[in-house]
Amino acid sequence: MNDSAKFELDNFMQGVMQRNPGEGEFHQAVREVCESLMPFVLDNRKYHDANILERITEPDRTIIYRVSWEDDKGNIQTNRAWRVQFNNSIGPYKGGLRFHPSVNQSVLKFLGFEQIFKNSLTGLPMGGAKGGANFDPKGKSDREVMRFCQSMMNELFRHIGEDTDVPAGDIGVGGREIGFLFGQFKRLANRVTGTFTGKGLTYGGSLIRTEATGYGCVYFCENMLNHAGDTLQGKSCAISGSGNVAIYCAEKAIQSGAKVLTMSDSAGTIYDQDGIDADKLAFVKDLKEVRRGRISEYVEKYKSAQYLAGKRPWGVKCDAAFPCATQNEISLEDAKVLIANGVKVVAEGANMPTELAAVHLFQESGVLFGPAKAANAGGVAVSGLEQSQNSLRLSWSREEVDERLKKIMKEIHGKCEKYGSATNGKVDYVKGANIGGFVKVADAMLAYGIV
Ligand code: NDP
């Protein structure tokens, strides 16, 4: 970036920080995107003259509401929930709901902002949004989760709909929660439509949606490696997390001939030097998806594994790293260790899992770095396909959805190449994804005039 773009960026970021005080995650996400966009916008004056960056960093609206519910002991509990409807220039708002005690407005604004560009990259007509609550489903009974979801929907239902805003899952919101949320929506709205994605297969869900984010992340990683004349075959992989994204990232990595060494949760990491194979992964699926247990139980069953309490996976020597747990889980120090251990590729399954200084270091060190808005777009892409199937009142086969997912991930790679090509023949995936996602949304905003 030249000095004048840097000056403009610093000025712009000062304004963002003043308008959004105390929202560190949101500032981080905006800076990451605008490091790519500011030089592009300065070179393309139509965006600059229409103040697109100021406008695209301001949500269309944010809905904040109280959710009161009764626990199993008869106590009344109160949580706070949000829906950040960020930008609907290219389609109805679309983005997941997160249930985690760390949820606040800053986290949801960062996620909603990123979602604008990610959804645009898929090529499907979807705007950007995110929502959730500071509710912790861990340790709650099914009935407590149901009562919370129903109470939350009593307010949320008036703000969503198949042509206005279509939520989905995220951290802490899986099949069980979507069932409860959609069930209450259906009662209140008296409509059984595609207002949610990630639905169960018996009531409008799409095949491959559960697998899509993890599978898509591996497909994107393969695309990056293929472009560099390499493949995932035989590569050792460190994966963080043991939730939806991590499990299906591991599954597809194993199917691609890679050796998966680690998985984790918020308490620690398991490191299996023999590799987590399909049978061992079936144990993890049952542990996390059915029994809702802790990943540490893996080492009680498999003696080839060690448990690294309180640790993330990044100290383990690997060729490929897939952060699939949460934001800011790869620090600059972690990146230095990964690079010293010879990591070749990093593909972000989670949203903003890599701190900005670590992103810069990976790029400077020649590590292939696939940012979240490209690498994990497979989830929302198949959500978009779920919406299409709901509108058509049809269900596509597993093979058909998987083929479409592969094609979309390849096309996203193509957009990154187009907008992020560097003079040395390499691809700057961060720049490519940011500009590739921006152009379509910005052009739509220009077409609408001043709104
Ligand atoms: P899940 O709730 O299914 O799993 C989350 C995993 O990450 C769990 O293993 C959890 O451990 C761990 N985790 C969560 N918070 C923390 C934390 N603060 N520190 C360490 N570990 C943590 O969520 P998903 O797999 O759906 O989502 C994971 C990431 O992928 C998120 O960043 C999400 O935004 C992103 N994503 C998800 C998509 C989807 O389709 N589901 C789509 C695109 C992106 P524990 O059980 O101990 O909390």
Indicate if ligand 1 lies below 6 Å from the C-beta of 386. Answer: no
Write the pLDDT tens digit of every residue in 271-315: 999 999 999 999 999 999 999 999 999 999 999 999 999 999 999
Say if CB 178 and CB 169 are below 8 A apart. yes
- Distance, CA 400 to ligand 1 centroid (Å)? 27
Indicate if ligand 1 lies below 6 Å from the C-beta of 331. Answer: no
Write the pLDDT tens digit of every residue in 256-267: 999 999 999 999
Sheet holding 259-265, edge to edge: 305-309, 268-272, 259-265, 236-239, 320-322, 345-347, 368-370
Mutate to test the pocket of ligand 1, among 116, 326, 385 (most ligand atoms within 8 A of CB): 326
Of the residues 130, 344, 415, 440, which is catalytic?
A: 130
- Ligand 1 atom nearest residue 172's Cα: 2
Indicate if ligand 1 lies below 6 Å from the C-beta of 241. Answer: yes
Answer yes or no: is pLDDT of 1 > 90: no
Answer yes or no: is pLDDT of 451 > 90: no
Write the pLDDT tens digit of every residue in 184-197: 999 999 999 999 99
Average pLDDT of span 148-172: 98
Write the pLDDT tens digit of every residue in 392-437: 999 999 999 999 999 999 999 999 999 998 777 899 999 999 999 9
Indicate if ligand 1 lies below 6 Å from the C-beta of 243. Answer: yes
Answer yes or no: is pLDDT of 343 > 90: yes
Q: Look over the chain and give the mean of its residue pLDDT values, rounded to a whole number.
A: 97
Indicate if ligand 1 lies below 6 Å from the C-beta of 377. Answer: no
- Distance, CA 312 to ligand 1 centroid (Å)? 14
219-237 CB burial, b ≥16 within 10 A, e <16: bbbbbbbebeeeebeebbb
- Distance, CA 355 to ligand 1 centroid (Å)? 16
Task: Look up 46 and say whether it is catalytic.
Answer: no
- The pLDDT, as a whole number, for residue 237 is 98
* Parallel/antiparallel/unpaired status of strands 236-239 and 259-265: parallel
| Among candidate residues 357, 311, 361, the one with its CA nearest the CA of residue 339 | 361
Answer yes or no: is pLDDT of 146 > 90: yes
Answer yes or no: is pLDDT of 316 > 80: yes
- Spatial distance between the Cα atoms of 383 and 124, rounded to a whole number of angstroms: 10
- The pLDDT, as a whole number, for residue 180 is 98
Answer yes or no: is pLDDT of 18 > 80: yes
- Spatial distance between the Cα atoms of 61 and 25, rounded to a whole number of angstroms: 18
Indicate if ligand 1 lies below 6 Å from the C-beta of 242. Answer: yes
- The pLDDT, as a whole number, for residue 381 is 98
- The pLDDT, as a whole number, for residue 422 is 79
